Amino acid sequence: MAYFDYNAPRLVQVGRHEDGALRSLAIDRDFDAQGRRQTVGVVSRSVRTGRFKVIAGERCEIWESSQSSVSEIVDLRCVTADGIELWRGFSGGPTLYEAVKIDRRSVASGEVDLPPGLMNRDNWPLPDTDEIADGSVVSLVAERPGAAAKTFPVRETIKRFRSWTLSLSKYGDGGQRITLKDGAAWSFLSAEIASDGTYLQFSALFRRDGSAASGATMQPVPLGRSELILREPCDWYDMTPRLMDGGEKRCLAKDGVTLKRAPWSRGDGTVLSAVTVKRAPVSFRTLLDPPEAFSAATWGLPD
């Protein structure tokens, strides 16, 4: 189910399991009045083409959206004069979806109001926030940020609590990306913050037992080489062996702590090395950082 607020503007998409439990949540408000997206590390723009289609009996204009710093693929959308998206595809690619029927009628507010409780952590399958377990905190710094600082982080903090990992990435333009991931169930939460502190995007995916099978295809693959970082040995792994246009490699200590990370995309990339490593008992609450990133008030959602 998708909800779009023209006044904000903001797009909220909600997915649920068969029993109604929350499966996914995506909040997108990373665009300005000129149609330029503000995603951290991405330079994007949307423009009208002046080309039109007639779909399901309605006339719509094709818009082109591109992300110049990420790929050369152009996203195409056909939108009516009053903002209804009827078709979406990619340049030189297949149609992703196309409207087959439009029913214009009066709509009660209850049909389009956001449901409450989407950001209520009691509805999320997370560990007890006060539970204590062995953990670690690693600070990493890019070795040679250069031009890559626009699309790759220059500093990172990685915190671990059992199978959960929080990565707080800071970019050269001042933007930040937060990713909280469960390596056991392949569930995750993430948020993007602009350099001025504006929260741009939030996304979450909560898998059920057995639904993590797709993650089996992304099991790390040993690369057969080791390194010594901060007087501690680590082994290199390809963390995304099946990705073609991007991915990352990591040098992991014997207990799984990341001592070096090398993300890349379309031939460009960076390397971040640990400058401090601390192992100590932590609570899961310390991974919900910053706490406002996981608050309904931050994203303008009902409690």
The string of pLDDT tens digits covering residues 5-39 is 766 667 899 999 899 999 999 998 865 544 445 55
Quote helix, strand, coil % in the chain, to nearest 5: 10, 50, 40
Residues lower than pLDDT 70 in the chain? 6-9, 30-45, 66-73, 145-150, 209-218
Strand, coil or helix: what is 3? Answer: strand
Strand partners, 71: none
Other beta carbons within 10 Å of 239: 19
Extract the tokens encoding 262.
């090398």
φ/ψ (deg, to 5) at 141: -130, 140
Q: Are 257 and 138 in contact (CB under 8 A)?
A: yes
Other beta carbons within 10 Å of 254: 9
pLDDT of residue 46: 72
DSSP, residue by residue, 254-302 = TTS-EEEEEEEETTEE--EEEEEEEEEEEEGGGGS-SGGGG-HHHHT--
pLDDT of residue 132: 92
Residues 6+ apart with CB under 8 A from 211: none
Domains of the chain from N-terminus onward: 31-112 (no CATH), 125-174+213-291 (2.50.20)
DSSP, residue by residue, 108-166 = -HHHHSPPTTTT-GGGS----TT-EEEEEEEEEEESS-GGGGGTSEEEEEEEEETTEEE
Rounded CA separation 119/7 (Å):
21
pLDDT of residue 212: 46
pLDDT of residue 35: 46
pLDDT of residue 90: 83
pLDDT of residue 245: 80
| Overall pTM surpassing 0.95 (yes/no) | no
Q: Are 236 and 248 in contact (CB under 8 A)?
A: no
pLDDT of residue 48: 87
